[in-house]
Amino acid sequence: MGEAARADCVGCSDRGNSDDTRPDVTAEDQTQQMLSRGQQMTDPERQIRELTQRIEVLEEELMRAQRLSSVGALASSITHEFNNILTTVINYAKMGLRHTDDSTRTKAFDRILNASQRAAKITTSMLSYSRTSSNRIEPVDLKRLLEEVLVLVQKDLQMHRIQLDVNASATVWAMASASQIQQLLMNLIINARQAMQENGRLRLIVRDNPADGWAEVVVADSGCGIPQEKLALIFDSFYTTKKPDDNGQGGTGLGLALCRRIVEAHRGRIRVESEPGRGTTFTLRLPRCEQAVGFVSTAGTAAAAGAR
């Protein structure tokens, strides 16, 4: 208040000075001032556009950071998995070198090949998940997306003794961005695991709902649950129900907020049901579509071959 008043007083003193040596304002100067004021009027519009573009860039960077944080949450289990694979490869390589009979060497080569294929599958899934992919909306197979996510999280679930029940026997097609839906599923599954103690149960369901026009994925855990008064807040940015762990690390409050953003961009729906002490169920609904053009299902052919 005082500082503003002093400024006003200085202005009044200057205006009252009879020795005014300011130059006369010409018509050209007045025109330039009017143009300048007109430019200033359009500046806010330009600034709004620039801020909007900047926000969009920051949102994309936030999405990428959240994807990498999901991989970071699985780093320990994935490292453990690779250690097991390397141990298998080394031990069977030694066995093949020690024994010269064909049957033992063939067994060793088979085990080495299986372990190497498992490692390749993990690295392929991790690279596919981590890299920036197209956000184009197109027909995607939700069952296949879930399987790719499970390649990365399965070892983490095993390490925490989580029982996994998957019901995804049929192929279900949805109009979606594969990379964004993978990110959403990864986030929900990691959250579910973190909400459970050892010997918890995680149920994953992929189902078609043609009557209502939805392709649905259900992620249900038997964890601690969420109190009713907090349920309406979990999709808000920076709101988290996770308590800090022994290292002081808790939730960022961004995961579910980004999930909601992804669902809204797909014109889908996400519903959450929870009961403290009994667990939480998230139901994701995306616009369904028929089988993608050019896709040929081999399920029936494989079944018939197996029957013969």
Question: What is the pLDDT at residue 306?
Answer: 42
Question: What is the pLDDT at residue 220?
Answer: 96
Query: What would the pLDDT profile of 52-67 be if each residue is shown by its tens digit?
Result: 777 767 766 666 666 6
Range name among 36-45, 157-166, 228-237 with the lowest pLDDT average: 36-45
Query: What would the pLDDT profile of 171-186 be if each residue is shown by its tens digit?
Result: 999 999 988 898 899 9
Assigned fold of 62-287: Heat Shock Protein 90 (3.30.565)
Question: What is the pLDDT at residue 6?
Answer: 36
Does the pLDDT at position 141 exceed 60? Answer: yes
DSSP code per residue over the chain: -HHHHHHHHHHHHHHT-S---PPPPPHHHHHHHHHHHHHHHHHHHHHHHHHHHHHHHHHHHHHHHHHHHHHHHTHHHHHHHHHHHHHHHHHHHHHHHH--SHHHHHHHHHHHHHHHHHHHHHHHHHHHHHS------EEEEHHHHHHHHHHHHHHHHHHTT-EEEEE--S--EEEE-HHHHHHHHHHHHHHHHHT--TT-EEEEEEEEETTTTEEEEEEEE-S----HHHHTTTTSTT---PPP-TTS----S-HHHHHHHHHHHTT-EEEEEEETTTEEEEEEEEEB--PPTT----HHHHHHHHH-
Question: What is the pLDDT at residue 289?
Answer: 92
Does the pLDDT at position 32 exceed 50? Answer: yes
Average pLDDT over residues 22-32: 59
Question: What is the pLDDT at residue 251?
Answer: 54
Compute the mean pLDDT over every residue in the chain, rounded to the nearest whole number: 77
pTM score of the predicted model:
0.64
Does the pLDDT at position 305 exceed 50? Answer: no
Range name among 40-54, 121-135, 287-301 with the lowest pLDDT average: 287-301
**Percent of all residues in the chain with a pLDDT value above 90, rounded to a whole number:** 28
Question: What is the pLDDT at residue 144?
Answer: 92
The band of 237, judged by pLDDT with boundaries at 50, 70 and 90, is low
Query: What would the pLDDT profile of 46-101 be if each residue is shown by its tens digit?
Result: 778 778 777 767 766 666 666 666 666 667 767 767 887 888 888 889 888 888 88
Does the pLDDT at position 163 exceed 50? Answer: yes
